[in-house]
Structure 1
Amino acid sequence: MNALDSHDRFEATAPVRRAEADLRGLFGQATAVIASFAGPTHVLESANPAFMTLFGVDQARVGDVLPGSAADSLVPLLDQAYRTGEACTARDVCAELGTGPDAREVSFDLTAEPRRDSAGEVVGVQVIGSETTQVRHAQRLMAEHRVLLEQIARQAPLTEVLDGMARCIEELVPQELFVSVLLAEPDGLHLRHGAAPSLPAFYNEAIDGIATGEGVGSCGTAAHRREPVIVTDIATDPFWDDFRDLAERAGLGACWSTPILARDGSLLGTFAMYHPAPRVPQDTDLALIEVFTGTAALAIERHHIEQAKRAAEARAASALEDLATAVEAERELRADAEHRAAAAADLAARMRAAAVEQARAPRPELCQLGGKAGCAAPAEIKVADSWGDAAWGCAAHVEQALIHVRSVFIASEELGGLATYLRR
């Protein structure tokens, strides 16, 4: 089918509502920034710690103009408010904060309001705003999450859904990470590769088919326990004793794995987030894990349902084909039986007619079954065959004829056959 029925539609929208609630609750806690500037050159008079952190300004800059990228982002807004004397707002203002490996892109909404003296003249600008970086990430994640649910609803291939989900998380989360989904075999004793677009191929091949069990890495243990397993440092965790060299070759430092469970509690697989360096999960990480583990469960369970449906349809089609074959065979057997019955009836009729015809012939005095040598014994018994031939013979030659000539029978007017012969 091409669309979800009402029950499936409810199941598909429920993860959306849960995801939005989780992401709003965790990503929506924006940081407020407040700062006050004086004069047309916008000398920083005061600012709260959040402003200092976001714009990379240290306390020594108070009483001075803003430096670098901070000035590039704010000055146009400050100029407008100072020049017009009216409040103005800028949304999703982006800036790169920090340098080198610590550099990051942030966004924020800012409102600049003019400050006036007792005479009403503009003497400075006050800025109030909130960081929207995490909110924007949450919005993009929710948008991608909706796309995934739409793919599930239209029954896109499972590999396509899982691969898209992994790439979505890897691209939108600020920190570098690698997402992996392993699928449980029907017996729940082994895990097979599902999706891991950014992990090395040799790593995916090595863990494809790993057993579920205590101490079998993060994923094997999570599948066995049916609960999340957080390994913050692969280099020291005993769960990774058998896989530590493999993880080192793949450049993996941490692995957080969560079991993917069906609605009835059965194991569907595992959802894992790998990091290049040892790392402890934050609240936002846990929210992402919960949201996308639920999405993976929905996709995998729908895939299993479709597989079962196709298998049932195939069995039904095969059974129907077998039934049609049996009906045709029965029809052919019945037709053959009817043909044989008609042939037998016709043969019996011809035999009766031949016997009656031969019964009318006069009995000879001597045996006719003696061959070229002849037989001087009196003719006592009449024999015939289905071809209509008949002869009279003595008891000895009639017995020989019955033994050596196929389809020969003893003929009499009463059609008694052998019974007549026995009662002679």
Structure 2
Amino acid sequence: MTAVSGRRHPAADPAPAGQAAEEDLRALFGHSTAVFASLAGPEYLVETANAAFFATIGEERARTGVALAELVPELAGQGIIALLDQVYRTGEPYTGRDVRVVLGSGPHAREAFFDLTYEPRRDTDGNVTGIRVIGVETTQVKQAQQLMAEHRALLEQIARQAPLAEVLDGMARCIEKLAPQEVLVSVLLADPDGRHLRHGAAPSLPDFYNQAIDGIATGEAVGSCGTAAHRREPVIVTDIATDPFWADFRDLAGRAGLAACWSTPILARDGGLLGTFAMYHRTPRIPQDADLALARVFADTAALAIERHHTEQAQRAAEARAKAALDDLATAVRAERELRADAEQRAAAAAELAARMRAAAAAQAPTPHPERCQLGGSSGCTAPAEIKIADSWGDAAWGCPAHVEEAIINVRSVFIASEELGGLAAYRDR
């Protein structure tokens, strides 16, 4: 039991000055959140301590008259007893800032930080008879400072457009480092249709586990994450071994050494599903308010990173589409120019051919020739014969302007039967 009491009235129960001073300290620190203990002798027997001291080491160890090393055996090897020895031996007080202390053992161990002062207790002759320990736990302050520093670093990563996988992996590792108890963090990303979850980051989970849950559906009773994504609200499973949500994944979780999973949906500003943020534990565990707050903070941070990633993807896709459209337009413009140039060349060649044909018709008009076109094929042609053409083998025929033009254009060996009017060379140059 704690030995904290009020100060006795000196008139009713006179006490030595040293004892009265101790009672004053007990009165001052009795209800304080600061840690106070008065240790006696070189064994550091806990003579008295306030409620904050016993709350720190564990209420189950709240007793006096026991040596500190026996009451809190985990302090051995942490330098605490050595510092007490130094103060007891030298009589010089000691003050330490953010002194790290591991309290408890095994799965119940926790890391704590304190600003501590060790003051020597003296008798009337000035001899050191014990030590007073006064301290303030700074664990939450230190964790808050670390949290803010890590959170700021993540926001800077997002601002400089670091790859999403890098941001999410760094976030998971940050939480695992800051959490007072072992936690394994996982981030799953929602498919565009919101029906499946894909691996995003989980640096401490086994590869086989990450591969097995990559692509799980969102829906009721699909583990913690599938259900949280489906409900758009946190799902806290404190014991995977007995929870019905994990019926289909219980063996998988057992092989991975997972016993609890708290999942928070990651939602966009418009309420759309972006993914899930999960905190796994190796023993069944109920979350504290601080755990839930941490999950919300980093779920919001993950949402910021994922939305930024989606925006960048959409921007890159839009830029790619715009570039493709410009490339298509440039190709179309080049093709149009080529077609126009070809058409102009064809028009010029046709005009030249038409002029040569008119000249040929005029020059050959006095020459005896058939009355009708000989180039109509089996169907015949009743148009007047006006122009004589020949081929490179010496064959010749008379035809109308339409069939002559068709023959010259389509039969490569045909030319106007007049070298003066261009003949074979003019056709080949065309």
The interval holding the TM-score normalised by the smaller chain is 0.7 to 0.9
Aligned to 2:300: 294
Residue 383 in 1 paired to residue 385 in 2? yes
Of 167, 189, 207, 1:201 maps to: 207
Query: Are the counterparts in 1 of residues 115 and 137 from structure 2 also a CA contact under 8 Å?
Result: yes
Query: Are the counterparts in 1 of residues 234 and 264 from structure 2 also a CA contact under 8 Å?
Result: yes
Shift of 1:202: 2.0
Aligned to 1:251: 257
Q: Distance in 1 between matches of 2:387 and 2:359?
A: 11
Residue 314 in 1 paired to residue 316 in 2? no
Aligned to 2:34: 32
Over 3 Å counting, the alpha-carbon distance change for 1:294 and 1:81 in structure 2 is farther
Mean Cα deviation higher: 91-100 or 242-251: 91-100
Over 3 Å counting, the alpha-carbon distance change for 1:243 and 1:76 in structure 2 is closer
Q: Distance in 2 between matches of 1:172 and 1:65?
A: 29
Of 312, 326, 348, 1:342 maps to: 348
Shift of 1:187: 0.7
Give the TM-score, by structure 2 length.
Answer: 0.71
Mean Cα deviation higher: 316-325 or 74-83: 74-83
Over 3 Å counting, the alpha-carbon distance change for 1:43 and 1:191 in structure 2 is closer
Residue 177 in 1 paired to residue 198 in 2? no
Q: Distance in 2 between matches of 1:404 and 1:183?
A: 72
Q: Deviations over 1:114-158 (max 9, x none)?
A: 668899998765432112233323322322222222221221111
Query: Are the counterparts in 2 of residues 82 and 125 from structure 1 also a CA contact under 8 Å?
Result: no
1:394-405 equivalences under 5 Å are none
Q: Deviations over 1:299-337 (max 9, x none)?
A: 111111111111111111111111111011000000011
Letter in 1 for 2:387: D
Q: Distance in 2 between matches of 1:148 and 1:77?
A: 41
Query: Are the counterparts in 2 of residues 166 and 196 from structure 1 also a CA contact under 8 Å?
Result: yes
Structure 1's unaligned 5+ residue stretches are 1-29, 371-380, 389-397, 410-424
Residue 73 in 1 paired to residue 80 in 2? yes
Residue 265 in 1 paired to residue 271 in 2? yes
Query: Are the counterparts in 1 of residues 389 and 404 from structure 2 also a CA contact under 8 Å?
Result: no
Over 3 Å counting, the alpha-carbon distance change for 1:325 and 1:64 in structure 2 is closer
Q: Deviations over 1:362-402 (max 9, x none)?
A: x86xx7679xxxxxxxxxx97322759xxxxxxxxx9x966
Q: Distance in 1 between matches of 2:201 and 2:164?
A: 9
Over 3 Å counting, the alpha-carbon distance change for 1:133 and 1:31 in structure 2 is farther
Letter in 2 for 1:33: V
Residue 111 in 1 paired to residue 113 in 2? no
1:412-423 equivalences under 5 Å are none
Over 3 Å counting, the alpha-carbon distance change for 1:74 and 1:148 in structure 2 is same
- Taking only aligned residues, the RMSD between alpha carbons, in angstroms, comes to 3.6
Over 3 Å counting, the alpha-carbon distance change for 1:60 and 1:264 in structure 2 is closer
Aligned to 2:47: 45
Q: Deviations over 1:21-51 (max 9, x none)?
A: xxxxxxxxx9521123457876543111332
Q: Aligned with 1:383: secondary structure? A: coil
Query: Are the counterparts in 2 of residues 73 and 94 from structure 1 also a CA contact under 8 Å?
Result: no
Query: Are the counterparts in 2 of residues 112 and 126 from structure 1 also a CA contact under 8 Å?
Result: yes
Q: Deviations over 1:48-104 (max 9, x none)?
A: 13323535795554386765565851663686499667x653112223333455444
Q: Distance in 2 between matches of 1:408 and 1:138?
A: 91
Q: Distance in 2 between matches of 1:80 and 1:61?
A: 21
Over 3 Å counting, the alpha-carbon distance change for 1:114 and 1:343 in structure 2 is same
Query: Are the counterparts in 1 of residues 386 and 399 from structure 2 also a CA contact under 8 Å?
Result: no
Over 3 Å counting, the alpha-carbon distance change for 1:90 and 1:187 in structure 2 is same
Q: Distance in 1 between matches of 2:68 and 2:340?
A: 105
Q: Distance in 1 between matches of 2:88 and 2:265?
A: 53
Letter in 1 for 2:323: A
Aligned to 2:411: none
Letter in 1 for 2:274: L
Structure 2's unaligned 5+ residue stretches are 1-31, 373-382, 391-396, 408-430
Q: Distance in 2 between matches of 1:299 and 1:59?
A: 47
Over 3 Å counting, the alpha-carbon distance change for 1:241 and 1:31 in structure 2 is farther
Q: Distance in 2 between matches of 1:324 and 1:65?
A: 84
Aligned to 1:333: 339
Aligned to 2:65: 62
Q: Distance in 2 between matches of 1:141 and 1:261?
A: 22
Q: Deviations over 1:253-294 (max 9, x none)?
A: 111111101111111001111112221111121111011111
Q: Distance in 1 between matches of 2:121 and 2:201?
A: 56
Letter in 1 for 2:385: V
Aligned to 1:234: 240
Over 3 Å counting, the alpha-carbon distance change for 1:60 and 1:229 in structure 2 is closer
Aligned to 2:4: none
Q: Taking every aligned residue pair, what percent have the same amino acid on both sides?
A: 66
Query: Are the counterparts in 1 of residues 266 and 277 from structure 2 also a CA contact under 8 Å?
Result: yes
Q: Distance in 1 between matches of 2:265 and 2:251?
A: 24
Q: Distance in 2 between matches of 1:32 and 1:402?
A: 119
Over 3 Å counting, the alpha-carbon distance change for 1:308 and 1:101 in structure 2 is closer
Query: Are the counterparts in 2 of residues 44 and 66 from structure 1 also a CA contact under 8 Å?
Result: no
Query: Are the counterparts in 2 of residues 183 and 191 from structure 1 also a CA contact under 8 Å?
Result: yes
Residue 284 in 1 paired to residue 290 in 2? yes
Q: Aligned with 2:270: secondary structure? A: coil
